Amino acid sequence: MNPPLGIGRRTPGAGGVRTRFRWFRPAPLLAVIVVVAGLPLLLGADDVVLGQIEFVLALSLAAIGLNIVSGYAGQLALGPGAMFAIGAYTAAVLAAHFPWAAGLPFMCVSGTLAAVLAGLVIAIPSLRAGGFYLGMVTLLIAAAVPTVVSNLAATGGSGGILLLQVSWFNQVPGGILLYLLMVVLVVVFLIFSSALLHSRLGRRFGALRSGEVLASSLGISGYRTKLLAFVLGAIPTGMAGVLYVYSQQVMSPQSATTNLSISLLAVVVIGGFGTVVGPLLGSAIVFGSGEFLGGLQELQGIVYGVLLLLVVEFMPEGLAGSSQPWGRFLGRVSGGRLRRTTTAGEVSVQPRSSAALDVPRIANSNKVVLTGVSKSFGGIHAVSCVDLVVSPGAVHAVIGPNGSGKTTLVNLISGYQHPDSGEIALGERRLDGLRPYRLSQLGIARTFQTPRLNLETTVIENVMVAADRWVRGRDFSSVLRGPGGRRADRESRARALQCLASVGLAGLADEPADKMPHGIQRLIEVARAISMSPWFILLDEPAAGLATAEIENLTQVIRRLTQSGVGILLVEHNVPVVLDISDEITVLNFGKVIRHGSSEDVRRDPDVIQVFLGVTETDAGASFVFGQGERDAGGA
């Protein structure tokens, strides 16, 4: 197989690019460990105090799990207490019934496995629907758990399970040793969670958090990615349950009420959604205040409420969010979400490097063929009986006034909408009916009229998440920073940088994506599409909002793409650009094809010029756009 668009899988990175993956900074992390490990010296090392800190530590582990599901992957999971309780109860029930099951290692394994299984059972049916439905299902399950366990004999009914009374249960390790062990476990999961955030899996989670529409346009299966997030989140949450029951030696329905889930949600919000140390910080405040400020216990609900309001009002990113000065520090400690891996000075790739664009992916002779495609929304015939062919190595432009069905056409080809009638095929293969992520895997990339980026990260990470699909590498090797994973991350970064360079954006690689104007965001989408080495790219108004020089650059990019065999469907309002680079033009009006021909044919067609371009023939070379004043009406 030829290397995709010249970016071979094994090609080393662009010359002069040094990358540093600063996912782990030992010194500050050591400081955090020393502080947490030293707490007993500060607060007293008797069993009661140790038990209290262990309680907070266990719940911070549960919050780390919730943060993976909600903060990283953006899923509305409202019942983390269920996973916690299932982990705790499984380990406790087994330990209470079988002497061989009463050791800490076995309890950790059994409880965590049970939580993961429960997570899968809950997730598989409810994830398809997602969103609000997922939130309701998880909350209802969390509400059901205490009722179920208080009615089961095996779980000790409403009294719960007292490991203290189990003759063969000995808390070994116990005391300060147990405490230190729990500190180590929390730190291990913090490091894991930081590494996860900056791995290829973390990038996929980020894309998902920004929306399933975005994720699927990059060939990411939303469903599979969500499942993975649930499983990964259930591991620390389930283990938290085990550590809780092991250190407190009691598990009862009162410890598993919906209050627990709500408190955990409060922890993650107050600490900072999607930040690495947020769960630890939030737990210290939410659960620590309850444990150590005795009088507060009765007022807990009010205290959380006020805290939540304060956080939402004054620091919506949470205590560890990067807009807080200490949040930036904490981000540095742990590799917070927004991270600059190179400084601008280190990026020495020439803008407009064409290296990324010279060689086609695999010789593709198949065309995308639309036959009689129609799509209505209620009474609106957005697309009516459209025939259209996009050929490899050619630009097919679709023009027409606002609301004429151009974006709908792009959505139909990329699988976001399905035709009411007609066929879409790539060679022999029917495309209509396939899901967007499958189409993107099949080599049909797209950009969006309203740019869709992960605005919480950098420009280059937005491209890397797409480049990842083309660089062979294993998710877990990337998380654990194995040699294969590191190599894949480096290749992915180099590839992303080349693609950014090809649209002239290499210099912006490490800027935050949310600082980019809309026009540049569109160009980032183009670079992102290129990095997937597609056969076809559907561009929805890529030149809108670009300056003249940037448009010139974009036209050259499109030319080079077609020279390397990529087929382009170009929806664009900028008529000179369209006339300049298109091989074929289709004119739509009210969803119907009213003209189709070469650039020359359309340029000479008096109807098109007058009705759609709103100018006389002699002006046709001038810089005009049509539908002025009503542009940018939105769309997918």
Q: Give the residues lining the site for ligand ADP (CB under 6 A).
A: 377, 380, 382, 400, 402-408, 633, 635
CA 495 – CA 485 distance, rounded (Å) = 15
Pairing of strands 421-426, 368-377: antiparallel
Residue among 280 and 399 whose Cβ is closer to Mg ion = 399
Token pair 């649930």: residue: 230
Other CB atoms closer than 10 Å to residue 629's CB: what's the count? 5
**In this chain, which of 117, 367, 635, 636 binds Mg ion, going by CB under 5 A?**
635
CB of 611 to Mg ion, least distance (A): 19
Interacting stretch for Mg ion, rule CB under 5 A, among 23-31, 176-184, 401-409, 412-420? Answer: 401-409
Is the Cβ–Cβ distance between 517 and 545 less than 8 Å? yes
Is the Cβ–Cβ distance between 397 and 410 less than 8 Å? no
**Burial classification of residue 297, based on how many CB atoms lie within 10 Å of its CB (0-12 exposed, 13-18 middle, 19 or more buried):** exposed
Residue among 58 and 386 whose Cβ is closer to ligand ADP = 386
CB of 529 to Mg ion, least distance (A): 17
Binding partner of residue 403 among Mg ion, ligand ADP, none, CB cut-off 5 to 8 Å per kind: ligand ADP
What the block records as the tokens of 63 is 């919050």
Residue among 483 and 634 whose Cβ is closer to Mg ion = 634
Q: Tell me 3's DSSP state.
A: P
Residues in the chain: 636
CA 265 – CA 256 distance, rounded (Å) = 14
CB of 295 to ligand ADP, least distance (A): 55
- Residues 444-473 interacting with Mg ion (rule: CB under 5 A): 449
CB of 581 to ligand ADP, least distance (A): 20
Residue among 219 and 400 whose Cβ is closer to ligand ADP = 400
Binding partner of residue 521 among ligand ADP, Mg ion, none, CB cut-off 5 to 8 Å per kind: none
Is the Cβ–Cβ distance between 46 and 103 less than 8 Å? no
CA 26 – CA 594 distance, rounded (Å) = 65
CB of 382 to Mg ion, least distance (A): 10
3 binds Mg ion (CB under 5 A): no
CA 462 – CA 274 distance, rounded (Å) = 17
Residue among 490 and 592 whose Cβ is closer to ligand ADP = 592
Instruction: Indicate the residue type of 203.
Output: R
How is 566-590 classified by DSSP, letter by letter?
-EEEEE-SBHHHHHHH-SEEEEEET
- Residues 28-57 interacting with Mg ion (rule: CB under 5 A): none
Residue among 110 and 407 whose Cβ is closer to Mg ion = 407
CB of 623 to ligand ADP, least distance (A): 21
Binding partner of residue 366 among ligand ADP, Mg ion, none, CB cut-off 5 to 8 Å per kind: none
What the block records as the tokens of 584 is 């074929």
CB of 217 to ligand ADP, least distance (A): 16
Binding partner of residue 402 among Mg ion, ligand ADP, none, CB cut-off 5 to 8 Å per kind: ligand ADP
CB of 377 to ligand ADP, least distance (A): 3
484 binds Mg ion (CB under 5 A): no
CB of 462 to ligand ADP, least distance (A): 24
CB of 544 to ligand ADP, least distance (A): 12
**45 contacts: CB under 8 Å, gap ≥ 6:** 176
Residue among 223 and 590 whose Cβ is closer to ligand ADP = 590
* Nearest by Cα to 337 from 268, 267, 274: 274
Residue among 242 and 413 whose Cβ is closer to Mg ion = 413
The terminus-to-terminus CA distance of the chain in angstroms comes to 34
CA 272 – CA 231 distance, rounded (Å) = 21
**In this chain, which of 407, 414, 531, 586 binds Mg ion, going by CB under 5 A?**
407
Binding partner of residue 293 among Mg ion, ligand ADP, none, CB cut-off 5 to 8 Å per kind: none
211 binds Mg ion (CB under 5 A): no
* Nearest by Cα to 411 from 376, 448, 385, 384: 448
* Nearest by Cα to 217 from 514, 439, 451, 477: 439
3-state secondary structure of 387: strand
Question: How big is the CA angle at 396 (ends 466 and 408), to the nearest 5 degrees?
Answer: 70
Residue among 520 and 544 whose Cβ is closer to Mg ion = 544
Size of the site for Mg ion (CB under 5 A): 4
| Residues making contact with Mg ion (CB under 5 A) | 406-407, 449, 635
